[in-house]
């Protein structure tokens, strides 16, 4: 027998190999019809997957219906199979690579014989998919021993799948397949019971993609699509995509002169133009003022640090693959080894000189960096021996190695540790807008949201274990305050926990982790904040609470995050002297309400569709004189605005007032003050508001007082026209082996 425990806590016995479908059927016929997949002991499975007890424990089973987020992923991945099947019907000989889900849909990488696929083919493919849906054939799972599986996919003519088995899958003894009618695909699953469960689908776009992401590999075509259980959800999603296009921060950023990217500076490295820098500066000052009120102290730290620092913290090698390469300063001995080149010749051209001297092809590495113990290094290089023959040399030398800062924490830890600390000094709260660097793949870069250098509104709190909950709560409240101030009031919380099976958390597990997770849970409960728990989403040094914010068109973004960390204080041996005169270990809290300034600005630009509220707008007010005759009065208005601390400009061009107004509108300037002879005479302004339109004449002093009050209270009077909210996003995951 097998014991099954359902989410309501009830435990029932079933024969071995019972299927989730049968468990559902035992509850009600309707539930069995509605069930599309199940989660058994944390793993998503087909509803016809036999369940067997591996341990004494009952199997924890959750049945998934169209209401569950996890079910949407299963549906979308199954739709990827349906699309692949339709493509194969229309283009026999098409070869398939990978077909996982994304946060909003799915894709399948394909290679067509003869000609590339284009979006013009979408109607035909979608029509074919429609036929497959109508037939509503089941997805049937079967397994083959790996050798037979390889032969099977070879017979299918699926060369990429053969290669994938040879590369990676051979280590599994048995591989699973899913059959749907004439179409069979190598896949781990799970899938929906039959194609008829797909309520609505759409193919979206095509992009190039490298086979297995290898930049020297074959270029495949990645066909993107999405699917939903209900047509209305697809419609809402497509409306959201349309709306998002209109608000795209990359386009608005250019149109409004907020930021630019120069290929000469480098991809993913943001250049803030004066207007964008103004908005960012306002945000930074807003937060800095708030931090001072809340007992934070400012610090500044450099953009690089020695590699030993990050080895101690664990950021290296943890982030190794996404970092810029190590900056290595060679010592004299090492320099002598590589043939007397001057230090500044040690760049690419310098290496080429030596390679040419030695007659070594340029593709062969002359000097390969490899680090040994901290402070030492191993040099691998090619050299010429006395007889003029090329030889391979490995030497140990001493060098200094630096990294571009991947995180600010280790630097702040050094500031904490720079002086003796007593319990009376705690909590110490160190804040910095610190810029950090990641080497994201160029294909991943996108506007402000995926960049290679970004500034975190970072702070680290060092406190006693008794202070943890209070400090954690205060940082949560700060994050709420910041998000609310920007009109981002629709958010939910995620408690990101460790995953005991993930090697990333190895060595960091144990009592302190569980304690940290319990602390966060207690704070969230105390604040009556609803949250969901997400195993495997924690940082490598501790669990965290993440704010998942919904913008005004319903898209979800992970913004502010607060992390609790018992690990780094241990690694760096941080201490404070307790009331008992003994050394104690402080606890660290990492927090960043905006997260990254770049990404946050990108989200804000889209949230406000470029029309920032008065307090954030780079240019708050434009003074528009009707003619040259009132230029002096216009100048006086401008001066008074500046004196009141408002950001204003004046349009003195010899244009008609109508076109001056139109230009200011296009630039999304919140307020226009029109002045003519009558206004000059009465010391007034004609007040045009972006939201309320023409508000008529106002005495100048009143207008300035009103504007000042609106900016100082950080009023957000309008975000943008609301649109139908699309349903919650799925969670990108791979169904591949
Ligand atoms: Zn599949
Ligand atoms: Zn940190």
Domain harbouring 6, CATH code: 3.10.20.30
Do 596 and 456 share a structural domain? yes
**What is the span of the domain harbouring residue 379?**
332-396
Alpha-carbon distances, residue 416 vs 121, 219, 562 (angstroms): 61, 50, 19
322 in any annotated domain: no
The per-residue b/e assignment along 65-89, b for 16 or more CB within 10 angstroms, e otherwise, is: ebebebbbbbbbbbbbbbbbbbbbb
722 in any annotated domain: no
Active site residue 458: yes
- Supply the mean pLDDT for the chain: 87
Contact 129, 223 (CB under 8 A): no
Ligand nearest to the CA of 541: 2
H helix or E strand, kind and range, residue 660: helix 657-666
Active site residue 460: yes
Alpha-carbon span 109 to 290, nearest angstrom: 49
134 phi, psi to nearest 5 deg = -65, -40
Do 75 and 50 share a structural domain? no
Residue 112's contacts (CB-CB under 8 Å, 6 or more residues apart) are 87, 91, 93, 94, 221
Among 89, 249, 315, 590, the active-site one is 590
pTM across the whole model:
0.76
- Name the domain count of the chain: 5
pLDDT value, residue 723 = 44
Residue 724 has pLDDT above 70, yes or no: no
Do 367 and 430 share a structural domain? no
Q: What is the pLDDT of residues 634-657, one digit of tens each?
A: 999 999 999 999 999 999 999 999
The per-residue b/e assignment along 194-219, b for 16 or more CB within 10 angstroms, e otherwise, is: bbebbbbbbbbebeebbbbeeeeeee
Tell me which of 396, 425, 440 is where a domain ends. 396
Do 695 and 628 share a structural domain? yes
pLDDT value, residue 361 = 44
Do 384 and 421 share a structural domain? no
Residue 360 has pLDDT above 60, yes or no: no
Active site residue 590: yes
pLDDT value, residue 367 = 43
Residue 146 has pLDDT above 80, yes or no: yes
Q: What is the pLDDT of residues 588-620, one digit of tens each?
A: 999 999 999 999 999 999 999 999 999 999 999
The per-residue b/e assignment along 316-331, b for 16 or more CB within 10 angstroms, e otherwise, is: bebbeeebeebebebe
Alpha-carbon span 325 to 316, nearest angstrom: 11
Among 164, 222, 429, 544, the active-site one is 544
Alpha-carbon span 133 to 139, nearest angstrom: 12
Q: What is the pLDDT of residues 56-76, one digit of tens each?
A: 789 999 999 999 989 999 999
Do 539 and 457 share a structural domain? yes
Better-predicted residue by pLDDT, 390 or 688: 688
Q: What is the CATH number of the domain that holds 516?
A: 3.30.930.10
Do 565 and 453 share a structural domain? yes
Measured in angstroms, how far is the CA atom of residue 465 from the centroid of ligand 2?
A: 18
Do 634 and 582 share a structural domain? no
Q: What is the CATH number of the domain that holds 628?
A: 3.40.50.800
Measured in angstroms, how far is the CA atom of residue 124 from the centroid of ligand 1?
A: 22
Do 671 and 597 share a structural domain? no
Alpha-carbon span 634 to 698, nearest angstrom: 15
How many residues are listed for the chain in this entry? Answer: 737
Ligand nearest to the CA of 434: 2
Q: How many CB atoms lie within 10 A of CB 150?
A: 20
Do 662 and 640 share a structural domain? yes
Among 456, 480, 563, 620, the active-site one is 456
313 in any annotated domain: no
Quickly list H helices, 394-467.
409-417
Among 21, 249, 409, 565, the active-site one is 409
Ligand nearest to the CA of 410: 2
Active site residue 438: yes
Measured in angstroms, how far is the CA atom of residue 77 from the centroid of ligand 1?
A: 6
Ligand nearest to the CA of 106: 1
Helices (H) then strands (E): counts for the chain = 22, 34
Active site residue 187: no
Averaging pLDDT over each range in 105-109, 354-358, 716-720, which range is the top one? 105-109
342 CA to centre of own chain:
42
Q: What is the pLDDT of residues 403-422, one digit of tens each?
A: 999 999 999 999 999 999 99
pLDDT value, residue 288 = 96
408 in any annotated domain: no
Do 686 and 564 share a structural domain? no
Among 458, 551, 565, 651, the active-site one is 458
Contact 464, 589 (CB under 8 A): no
308 in any annotated domain: no
318 in any annotated domain: no
Do 340 and 196 share a structural domain? no
407 in any annotated domain: no
717 in any annotated domain: no
Measured in angstroms, how far is the CA atom of residue 486 from the centroid of ligand 2?
A: 24
Measured in angstroms, how far is the CA atom of residue 186 from the centroid of ligand 1?
A: 7
Residue 34 has pLDDT above 90, yes or no: yes
């Amino acid at each position: 027998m097998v014991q099954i425990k359902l989410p309501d806590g009830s435990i029932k016995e079933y024969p071995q190999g019972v299927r989730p479908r049968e468990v559902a059927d035992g509850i009600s016929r309707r539930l069995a019809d509605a069930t599309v997949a199940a989660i058994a002991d944390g793993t998503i499975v087909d509803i016809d997957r036999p369940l067997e007890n591996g341990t004494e424990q009952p199997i924890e089973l959750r049945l998934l219906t169209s209401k569950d987020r996890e079910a949407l992923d299963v549906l979308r991945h199954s739709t990827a199979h349906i699309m692949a099947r339709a493509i194969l019907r229309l283009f026999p000989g098409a070869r398939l690579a990978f077909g996982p889900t994304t946060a909003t849909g799915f894709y399948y990488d394909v290679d067509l014989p003869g000609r590339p696929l284009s979006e013009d083919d979408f109607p035909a493919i979608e029509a074919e998919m429609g036929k497959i849906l109508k037939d509503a054939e089941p997805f049937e799972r079967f397994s083959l021993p790996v050798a037979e599986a390889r032969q099977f996919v070879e017979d299918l003519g699926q060369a990429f799948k053969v290669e994938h088995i040879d590369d990676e899958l051979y280590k599994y003894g048995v591989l699973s397949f899913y059959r749907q009618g004439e179409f069979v695909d190598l896949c781990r699953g799970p899938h929906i019971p039959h194609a008829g469960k797909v309520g609505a689908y759409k193919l979206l776009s095509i992009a190039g993609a490298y086979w297995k992401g290898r930049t020297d590999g074959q270029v495949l075509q990645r066909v993107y699509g999405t699917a939903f259980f209900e047509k209305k959800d697809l419609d809402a999603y497509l409306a959201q995509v349309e709306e998002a296009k209109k608000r795209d921060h990359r386009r608005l950023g250019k149109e409004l002169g907020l930021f630019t990217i120069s290929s000469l500076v480098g991809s993913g490295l943001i250049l803030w133009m004066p207007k964008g820098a103004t908005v960012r500066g306002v945000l930074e000052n807003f937060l800095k003022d708030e931090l001072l009120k809340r007992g934070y102290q400012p610090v500044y730290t450099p953009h690089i640090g020695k590699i030993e620092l990050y080895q101690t913290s664990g950021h290296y090698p943890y982030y190794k693959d996404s970092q810029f390469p190590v900056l290595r300063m060679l010592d004299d001995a090492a320099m002598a080894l590589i043939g007397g080149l001057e230090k500044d010749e040690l760049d690419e051209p310098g290496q080429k000189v030596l390679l040419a001297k030695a007659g070594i092809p340029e593709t062969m590495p002359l000097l390969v960096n490899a680090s040994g113990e901290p402070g030492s290094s191993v040099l691998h290089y090619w050299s010429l021996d006395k007889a003029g023959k090329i030889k391979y040399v490995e030497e140990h030398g001493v060098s200094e190695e630096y990294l571009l800062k991947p995180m600010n924490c280790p630097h702040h830890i050094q500031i904490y540790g720079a002086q003796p600390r007593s319990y009376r000094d705690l909590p110490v709260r160190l804040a910095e807008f610190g810029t950090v660097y990641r080497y994201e793949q160029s294909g991943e870069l996108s506007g402000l949201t995926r960049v290679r250098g970004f500034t975190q509104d970072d702070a680290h709190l060092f406190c006693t274990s008794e202070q943890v909950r209070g400090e954690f709560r205060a940082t949560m409240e700060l994050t709420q305050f910041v998000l609310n101030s920007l009109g981002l009031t629709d958010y939910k919380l995620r408690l990101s926990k460790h995953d005991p099976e993930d090697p990333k958390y190895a060595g960091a597990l144990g009592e302190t982790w569980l304690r940290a997770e319990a602390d966060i849970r207690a704070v969230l409960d105390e604040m009556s904040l609803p949250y969901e728990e997400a195993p495997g989403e924690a940082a490598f040094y501790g669990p965290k609470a993440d704010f998942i914010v919904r913008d005004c068109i319903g898209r979800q973004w992970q913004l502010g995050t607060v992390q609790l960390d018992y690990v780094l204080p241990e690694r760096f041996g941080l201490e404070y002297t307790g009331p008992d005169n003994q050394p104690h270990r402080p606890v660290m809290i990492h927090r960043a309400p905006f997260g990254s300034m770049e990404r946050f600005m990108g989200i804000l630009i889209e949230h406000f569709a470029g029309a920032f509220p008065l307090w954030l707008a780079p240019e708050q007010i434009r003074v528009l004189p009707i003619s040259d005759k009132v230029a002096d009065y216009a100048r006086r208005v401008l001066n008074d605005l500046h004196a009141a601390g408002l950001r204003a400009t004046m349009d003195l061009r010899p244009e008609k007032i109508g076109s001056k107004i139109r230009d200011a509108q296009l630039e999304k300037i919140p307020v226009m003050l029109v002045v003519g002879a009558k206004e000059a005479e009465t010391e007034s302004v004609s007040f045009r508001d972006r939201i309320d339109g023409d508000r008529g004449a106002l005495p100048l002093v009143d207008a300035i007082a009103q504007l000042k009050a609106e900016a100082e209270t950080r009023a957000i009077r309008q975000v943008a026209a609301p649109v139908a909210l699309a349903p919650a996003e799925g969670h990108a995951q791979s169904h591949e082996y």
